[in-house]
């Protein structure tokens, strides 16, 4: 269940599908460093190495026992199977997976080209596609991709695989749309379809990656500490049933894309995440970044901010004690596509409900595309229905990514720095 990453002179970081933990003790970090270097799983040999690094044998055995009791390490045994990894990813919240119905019914006999990136089992994908009557053709590598009207489907075990950057460049040079999906792990990811809109340029993979990295702050911190350009990828599992669902979902998306392109709409410019713990779906808008070095004007990044010019204007909303030129709901609708734990500049908005004792009653919000894909059909997270009049509107809004300091202490300081504000 856990991926253990010791960072020299810092701490031991533990990653799972749903949470991250840190063990700050030096002996725990040294134990895992030695354990991973030896690769034999021989406890006595690990303890012997630890004594060379200043720990006593008793400390070595005690540290192993501590880590084992918490489920962070196991002695011996075979590597976990994909199904065991899949169930382990659900284990904190669900005993068995909930496989939902695909959003759109996949057409019989649909066909597509597939490119695999990362640790994806081609035989298992072929079997899953066969079970859904989806005809597939594997493309060997990025250079072998040819120009075509039909989207290329790229399956990966992590949306931040650096190889996806090269695929993005290749696909934009060919002018061919491509659908990215992660069919493995306890939470599957689908979309967006890059390059699907003919009349207006959408965001590219680099636009998406910039937001994803910022929302994987702990993994990014560890990657930077180890000199890696992207977060580490933990092993992700699957079952034949979960893969069959993912292939059916992809076939349905391709059919929906054909329909939306006929209408001239671009309603697949978002990432859909499906959590197999409860079968729930969430949509996360992809924002095109004008300053993106790949698809936008990279020179914009070095431009100085334009000065703010104040000018008189009439107030249109004064009902809550503040004076605004826009209704709060209008401001929310205008910017809410930037709120997402996956693709948002703001990872979440939570209301601190004073009347009911703090953030326990907070209301989150997720992007939900409407029929036009604009996502403006939701409402601002407001007070609980039974809260009565609330004198002060308090919100917290995710981590403050402006704060970056090295080391575990710096990471903790950054995580504490949440953005917050109030309206009277």
- The binding site for Zn ion (CB under 5 A) comprises 204, 206-207, 292, 294-295
- Residue 185 near residue 166, CB atoms below 8 Å: no
Residue with smaller CB distance to Zn ion, 204 or 218: 204
Angle between helices 240-262 and 122-131 (to 10 degrees): 70
Residue with smaller CB distance to Zn ion, 212 or 295: 295
Report the DSSP pairing between strands 187-194 and 418-423: unpaired
What b/e string do you get for 106-137 counting C-beta neighbours within 10 Å, with b at 16 or more? beeebebbbbbbbebeeebbbebbeebebebe
Residue pointed to by tokens 């981590």: 399
**61-64 contact pairs (CB < 8 A, 24+):** 63/25, 63/27, 63/28, 63/31, 64/31
Contacting residues for 370 by C-beta, under 8 A, at least 6 apart: 376, 377
Could you tell me the smallest distance in angstroms from the CB atom of residue 223 to Zn ion? 21
- Residue 205 near residue 164, CB atoms below 8 Å: yes
Secondary element (H or E) of residue 266: none
Could you tell me the smallest distance in angstroms from the CB atom of residue 299 to Zn ion? 14
Residue with smaller CB distance to Zn ion, 23 or 287: 287
Residue with smaller CB distance to Zn ion, 259 or 298: 298
- Residue 280 near residue 274, CB atoms below 8 Å: yes
Cis ω for the linkage preceding 251 (within 30 of 0) = no
Residue with smaller CB distance to Zn ion, 41 or 290: 290
Residue with smaller CB distance to Zn ion, 89 or 204: 204
Kindly calculate the radius of gyration of the chain based on its CA atoms and give it in whole angstroms: 24
Taking CB atoms, the residue at the shortest distance from Zn ion is 292
Could you tell me the smallest distance in angstroms from the CB atom of residue 207 to Zn ion? 4
Rounded CA-CA distance 303/402 in Å is: 18
Which of 339, 316, 327, 179 lies closest to 256 in space, CA to CA?
A: 179
Could you tell me the smallest distance in angstroms from the CB atom of residue 206 to Zn ion? 4
Report the DSSP pairing between strands 280-285 and 418-423: unpaired
* Residue 194: φ, ψ to 5°: -75, 140
Burial of 32 (0-12, 13-18, 19+ CB in 10 A): buried
Burial of 330 (0-12, 13-18, 19+ CB in 10 A): middle
Could you tell me the smallest distance in angstroms from the CB atom of residue 261 to Zn ion? 21
- Residue 168 near residue 210, CB atoms below 8 Å: no
Which of 121, 125, 123 lies closest to 134 in space, CA to CA?
A: 125
Residue with smaller CB distance to Zn ion, 170 or 221: 170
Could you tell me the smallest distance in angstroms from the CB atom of residue 201 to Zn ion? 9
Residue with smaller CB distance to Zn ion, 90 or 295: 295
Residue with smaller CB distance to Zn ion, 155 or 292: 292
């Amino acid at each position: 269940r856990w991926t253990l990453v010791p960072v020299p002179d810092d701490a031991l970081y533990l990653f799972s599908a749903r949470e991250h933990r840190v063990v700050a003790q030096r002996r725990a970090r040294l134990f895992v460093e030695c354990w991973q270097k030896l690769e034999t799983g021989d406890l006595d040999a690990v303890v012997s190495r630890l004594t060379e690094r200043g720990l006593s044998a008793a400390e070595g055995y005690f540290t192993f026992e501590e880590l084992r009791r918490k489920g962070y390490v196991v002695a011996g045994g075979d590597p976990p199977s994909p199904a065991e990894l899949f169930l382990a990813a659900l284990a904190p919240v669900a005993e068995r997976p909930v496989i939902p119905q695909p959003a759109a019914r996949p057409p019989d006999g649909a066909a597509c080209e597939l490119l695999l990136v990362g640790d994806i089992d081609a035989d298992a994908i072929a079997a899953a596609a066969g079970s859904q009557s989806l005809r597939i053709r594997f493309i060997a590598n990025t250079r072998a991709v040819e120009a075509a009207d039909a989207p290329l489907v790229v399956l990966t075990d992590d949306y931040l695989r650096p190889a996806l950057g090269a695929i993005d460049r290749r696909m934009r040079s060919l002018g061919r749309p491509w659908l990215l999906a992660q069919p493995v792990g306890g939470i599957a990811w689908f979309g967006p379809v890059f390059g699907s809109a003919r009349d207006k340029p959408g965001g590219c993979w680099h636009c998406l990656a910039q937001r994803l990295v910022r929302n994987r702050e702990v993994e990014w911190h560890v990657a930077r500490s180890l000199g890696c350009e992207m977060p580490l990828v933990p092993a992700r599992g699957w079952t034949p049933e979960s893969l069959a669902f993912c292939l059916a979902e992809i076939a349905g998306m391709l059919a929906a894309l054909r329909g939306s392109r006929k209408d001239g709409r671009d309603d697949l410019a978002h990432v859909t995440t499906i959590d197999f713990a409860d079968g729930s779906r969430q949509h996360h808008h992809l924002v095109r970044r004008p300053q993106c070095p790949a698809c936008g004007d990279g020179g914009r990044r070095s431009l100085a901010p334009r000065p703010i010019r104040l000018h008189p204007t009439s107030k249109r909303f004064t009902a809550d004690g503040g004076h605004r030129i826009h209704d709060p709901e209008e401001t929310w609708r205008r910017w809410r596509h930037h709120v997402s734990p996956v693709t948002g500049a703001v990872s979440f908005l939570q209301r601190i409900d004073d009347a009911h004792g703090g953030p326990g009653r907070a209301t989150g919000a997720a992007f939900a595309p409407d029929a036009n894909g604009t996502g403006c059909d939701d409402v601002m997270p407001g007070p609980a229905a039974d809260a009565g009049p609330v004198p002060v509107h308090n919100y917290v809004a995710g981590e403050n990514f402006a704060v970056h300091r090295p080391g575990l202490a710096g990471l903790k300081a950054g995580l504490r720095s949440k953005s917050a504000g109030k309206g009277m």
